[in-house]
Amino acid sequence: MKRRTFLKSSLISLTGAMLPVKGFGADDDIIWMTLATINSYLYADKSHPGNPKPAPGELFIPPLIDAQTQNGLKKFSLKIQEGRHTFFSGTSTQTYGINGNYLGPTLYMRRGEKVSITYTNSLRESTTMHGHGMHVPAAMDGGPHQTIRPGSKWTTTYTVNQKACTNWYHPHYMGKTAEQVYKGLAGLIYIEDEESMLLGLPNQYAVNDIPLVVQDRRFTANKQLDYSPTTREIRQGYMGNTFLVNGVVSPYFNAEASLLRLRILNGSNARVYRFSFSDQRDFHIIAGDNSFLPEPVRVGEVRLSPGERVEIVVDLKGDLGNSFSLMDLSSGANLLTLRVNKRANTSASLPKQLTSTLEFPHFANAVRTRRFDLGMANMHMAINRKTMSLNRIDEFVPLNALEIWEVRNTMNMNHNFHIHATHFIVLERNGSSANVQPHERAYKDVVFMPPGSRVKLLVKMTDYRDRNNAYMYHCHILEHEDDGMMGQFVVT
């Protein structure tokens, strides 16, 4: 019995998650072989932790974790760690990762579940871990106040209380967010609800439902990550000349000749992408940051600023034997090659209606308007001429009050605007609702702000009131955030 207890704890420690182990409770030799296999794999020199190593150039799919529920609580265990990752053949690059060498696993949650995520910080520096897009109490938000010091742990616990969407988690440590994300700290969160599971959309993870974390990076001459922004690059945002998808340079994916669902995160520090396909085919947008669109929208491209997400469906039914690329029209880079070389095992179809439960309150019912000017103060990035201070609360927002937040980019450079805790509606861009982009016509948490632009957002804080713990609002170009373009609010 002692041997089995040790084996079980060892397996949990090695896998980093409370996952069921097939064969446990059977012959002990099977368990010993399983343990040895996991141990040899985890401590091997490999470039893609968590899954078997792909062939060169093949798209890596982060492992999906659907943790076991114990006593009504779904528990995730994540380790923030240093690692070495192979971006280039024959070269090992120093990185950060979560339960692995670079990036982190995808967490699967369902609406109504009570979850806890315990982060263990094995780095030699402090960090935090923010659930971007998650509607949670302020004390569970993982912002700059919830520091995880080296060698310590932090647990966020909450009930999943939002619509189906694709969110993500990343550091939010004051002044170090950009560098820590750059080194590899990020992962996705899939949330499903009863409505989404009945739509019949492609939902086989790693088969026809594919997560794509798109990033740009710079490397030194010896292929190490180069994060060394000058003052000018802090102002403009730090951009690289090498493009990664899920940590792989110029990958390919072997797809079925059916509908393919791509969940795209702009995980770059500063780059704005215009996603399209190399053969100029149309595709359908089905979801933005925090919810499905009411119905699919057919487009030829979609623009995403840092932190934004979009779900698209591309029809590959007539493409068996063909290849084409997901590309960025702004840079001309081919990001991911799709090789349609598998016959379909399923027959998913695109529904005409995606959701009937979005609520769009009328802006005339808003009780106040708040204004936020993105600019500079004392040679640093600022909002309303104030740079970020952890010791100052900038806004006091009443619970359940419908408000308009008017945001203006007063500078000749790109910004965007992210609000924690809530999901807003983009009412208008530059004075007209006609300028709202297709993927912005649902619930969002990040909105792109080109030079000189302005937006009006319909905002309502619900469920969580806390005068002692603050949420953030900020530009999600990470160098701008770190430089001071961030503020704090409490819900009263």
pLDDT digits (tens, 9 = 90+) for 436-478: 998 899 999 999 999 999 999 999 999 999 999 999 999 999 9
Taking residues 407-412, report their average pLDDT: 97
Beta bridge partners of residue 309, listed in sequence order: 265
CATH architecture of 363-491: Sandwich (2.60)
Res. 406 pLDDT band, cuts 50 70 90:
very high
Q: Which two tokens stand for residue 86?
A: 């192979």
Q: Which of 386, 418, 481, 435 is nearest to 181 (CA)?
A: 481
The string of pLDDT tens digits covering residues 291-312 is: 999 999 999 999 999 999 999 9
Confidence of residue 53 (pLDDT cuts 50, 70, 90): low
Give the model confidence (pLDDT) of 356-375 as tens digits: 888 877 888 889 999 999 99
Q: Using DSSP bridges, classify how beta strands 64-65 and 106-110 pair: parallel, antiparallel or unpaired.
A: parallel
What pLDDT is recorded for position 5? 39
Q: Give the residue extent of every domain in the chain.
A: 1-44, 363-491
Q: What angle do CA 5, 10, 40 make, to 5 degrees?
A: 140
Q: State the first-to-last Cα distance of the chain, in angstroms, to the nearest integer.
A: 53
What pLDDT, in 10s, does the model give residues 203-257?
999 999 999 999 999 999 999 999 999 999 999 999 999 999 999 999 999 999 9
Binned at pLDDT 50, 70 and 90, residue 68 comes out as confident
The model's pTM is: 0.88
